[in-house]
Structure 1
Amino acid sequence: MIYHLIEALGTWIDQSALLGPLAVFRYVEFRALLAVILAFTIVLTFGERTIRWLLKQKIQDNPEFHNNSLNELMARKGNTPTMGGILISAAILASTLLLADLSSFYVQMGLICLVWLFGVGLWDDWWKLTSARRKPGTRDGLHSWEKLILQVGLAVLLGIFIHHHGENKFGGLTDYDYAATMAHSLTLPFFKTWVWTGEAFVPSEYLIVLGPVAFVFVAVIVIVGMSNAVNLTDGMDGLASGIMVIVAFAFLVLCLIAGFTLNEFVLAKYLLVPYIPLSDELAILAGSMAGACLGFLWFNCHPARVFMGDSGSLPLGGLIGFIAVVIRQEFLLLLIGGIYVLEALSVILQVGYFKLTKGKRIFRCAPIHHHFHLGGWTEQQTVIRFWLITALLVAIALATIKLR
């Protein structure tokens, strides 16, 4: 909204010494960093009253695990209010509405992703956490398959619209031939998909262009997979939110690279990464995610006063997956979000091995953060070490942009 107001007042701003400084809002880099600050401030401002409201409504969690030792370690978390995702999602929504270019197709799709998955998570949290006040025999929450259907349905729609938009928006425009192809390509780390001959960019032997079905399939795997991976990671004070701060900052940078242009200079072409015109506006969405999670850490750090619940973890994971699909950096997401991927794989392996061997386990407990916790790491050590690993993975991922 602020962006559109500045655009509407463009002539006055350009001619006025007093209003001139407002022209800085035209720069997406400034608005992306401002989104971090704004989202952080929103969460900090409304955090206390939201926690009090959740306590009043008895929106509390009493986690139980199929492991007596872990139950003893986690006993102190009983009666901690959850559904703090309301704070995170509201801050992301407000910051994006205020600072982003709302005419951007990608921003519109991102907001749909946020609201949809927040609704799914809120529905599940509310039914699950207020079950004690309902009649005996009623369901505690959404079944896993019900959540999965809603997630897959959204991912299919997003995949179709993103592919269709790239095909029609960029195709046929001479200046956007590079973008028209890259919008549908599969970007492989360490390989150049395009090369500069000295006169023009030409596709390399490693360029893989996805058809509509393959593109949508990849979108579903990434968006649904990351949404559930973040959900599984949300099991220790500050773990999921702290990692997301780092991951979102990384994608803020990647979005600026993917869409940045200055006159005829295209940064993505120089770095030989996918150039997706107008995708730089998603940096504001990523900045809002980073700021909201940073603010949430104020209340979620050890000992946590509130948990995010599905209403926070599902939209956070889905949004970062959506951004990765748009800027064609799904493989970098697997690397940057390596802890999330590891958490999800640990559950899949544990469950699969347990069923195959009729009772044997690979890990002491899954997700894997509980494995380390039961192995002697304190909760704070586990969380901070996972943060450090994520920071290292971000450095490696950004380095791969030039290591080709």
Structure 2
Amino acid sequence: MLSNTIALSIAFCVMLLISPKGINILHRMKFGQEVRDDGPQTHLKKQGTPTMGGILFLIAISIGILPFIGEVSGLLPAYLLGLGFGIVGFVDDYLKVVKHQSEGFNPKQKMVSQIVISLLYIAFLYFYSGRANDFLLPFVKETSWSLGILFFPVSLFIITATDTGANFTDGIDGLCSSVTAVIVFFLFLVDRIILGGAELGALPGAVLGGLLGFLCFNAHPAKVFMGDTGSLALGGFVVAMAIQTGTALYIPLFAFVYFMEVLSVIMQVTYFKMTHGKRIFKMAPIHHHFELLGWSETQVVTIFTIITILACFITGLALEMT
């Protein structure tokens, strides 16, 4: 508990110290957000707002965990998965924002990069971490699923899906930051209560501190956006914490907003192709649908965050049952 408190405080203070100067640097380097023409009209005023702000909280998180890097064996691989995805997101952002390549990374290059990073992480856990690689089965008392070699494909699917969910959730001022902050705090409690803090160490505290500091500048009206640099990194941190605490199969429950964001895109694209142009939602991901229904950005963020709190509470009850 003490190490997480210290890591949270360090990361939060570092964010407050570096963000004003960092945002100015991003602005001078013309790392500005490009807004979709077909999106909500209220987003047009965001054009040019500095993006790639995920760099800032990755710096803060890295400094926050530095005093505790050797504290527990699970801290470093979880941190490196998030950092690795953050680097992939940075390259993607750089190509889109600076080089004006509309797609950023070639989709195949991006997917291959994420798969390689994921497999290195999974292989480390499987061969070198010494943990059982078991997942708790939701709502089944005192039962876990020992995956064996299936740990590779199952974990790869979960990592890819979760990271995509975090990426889709980033699209409204403060949305991904707020939702992920609740999820990270929940996973910290899981690590403390179930594992006694033996798996994640100070990482949840550092991530939470970095996010809370970032929210001071990312809440509506946002002065900076996290970009793929931030959203992919956050997805990596969240899924690593879930896998290493054995709660990966609970992700659709406690990260319900991530799940719905991905599902809304899949539904929209599938229905659009099947009906030759008809839509289920006014716009996907689903947070834009509610915006186009007339909800303000603040309303969307508040309600989605409350949903996440309730989802985490229900997951906690489910874990108590097991």
Taking the aligned partners of 2:29 and 2:144, their CA distance within structure 1 comes to 54
Given the alignment, which residue of 46, 52, 66 partners 1:97?
A: 66
Indicate yes or no: 2:179 matched with 1:211: no
Q: Against the structure 1 CA distance between its residues 365 and 236, is the aligned structure 2 distance closer, same or farther, given a 3 Å change threshold? A: same
Residue number in structure 2 paired with 1:336: 254
Unpaired runs of at least 5, structure 1: 1-28, 133-137, 171-182, 194-205, 262-277
Given the alignment, which residue of 7, 30, 36 partners 1:58?
A: 30
- In the TM superposition, residue 140 of structure 1 has moved relative to its aligned partner by 5.2
- In the TM superposition, residue 114 of structure 1 has moved relative to its aligned partner by 2.8
Q: Which amino acid aligns with 1:34?
A: I
| Structure (1 or 2) with the larger CA radius of gyration | 1
The CA deviation string for residues 250-307 of structure 1, in whole angstroms up to 9 with x for no partner, is 111111223328xxxxxxxxxxxxxxxx31xx14111111111110000001100000
Residue number in structure 2 paired with 1:266: none
- In the TM superposition, residue 73 of structure 1 has moved relative to its aligned partner by 2.0
Q: Which amino acid aligns with 1:188?
A: L
The CA deviation string for residues 174-215 of structure 1, in whole angstroms up to 9 with x for no partner, is xxxxxxxxx23231122123xxxxxxxxxxxx5432121x11
Indicate yes or no: 2:182 matched with 1:246: yes
Taking the aligned partners of 2:89 and 2:250, their CA distance within structure 1 comes to 26
Taking the aligned partners of 1:330 and 1:145, their CA distance within structure 2 comes to 26
| Length-normalised TM-score, structure 1 | 0.76
- In the TM superposition, residue 106 of structure 1 has moved relative to its aligned partner by 1.7
* 1:5-404 correspondence to structure 2 within 5 Å: 29-67=1-39, 70=40, 72-101=41-70, 104-132=72-100, 141-165=104-128, 169=130, 183-193=132-142, 206-212=143-149, 214-260=150-196, 278-279=198-199, 282-404=200-322
Q: Is the 8 A contact 1:190 1:401 kept in 2?
A: yes
Q: Which amino acid aligns with 2:12?
A: F
The runs of at least 4 consecutive aligned structure 1 residues that moved more than 3 Å come to none
Aligned length: 322
Taking the aligned partners of 1:225 and 1:33, their CA distance within structure 2 comes to 30
Secondary structure, counterpart of 2:173 in structure 1: coil
- In the TM superposition, residue 331 of structure 1 has moved relative to its aligned partner by 2.3
The CA deviation string for residues 46-104 of structure 1, in whole angstroms up to 9 with x for no partner, is 1100000011000001211435xx2x2211111100000011111111111123425x4
Taking the aligned partners of 1:46 and 1:207, their CA distance within structure 2 comes to 43
Residue number in structure 2 paired with 1:3: none
Secondary structure, counterpart of 1:186 in structure 2: strand
- In the TM superposition, residue 113 of structure 1 has moved relative to its aligned partner by 1.2
- In the TM superposition, residue 323 of structure 1 has moved relative to its aligned partner by 1.3
- In the TM superposition, residue 336 of structure 1 has moved relative to its aligned partner by 1.2
Secondary structure, counterpart of 1:61 in structure 2: coil
Identical aligned pairs, as a percentage? 34
Higher relative contact order, structure no. (Cα contacts within 8 Å, ≥ 6 residues apart): 2
The CA deviation string for residues 91-137 of structure 1, in whole angstroms up to 9 with x for no partner, is 111111123425x43222123213311211111111111125xxxxx
- Give the root-mean-square deviation of aligned CA atoms: 1.7
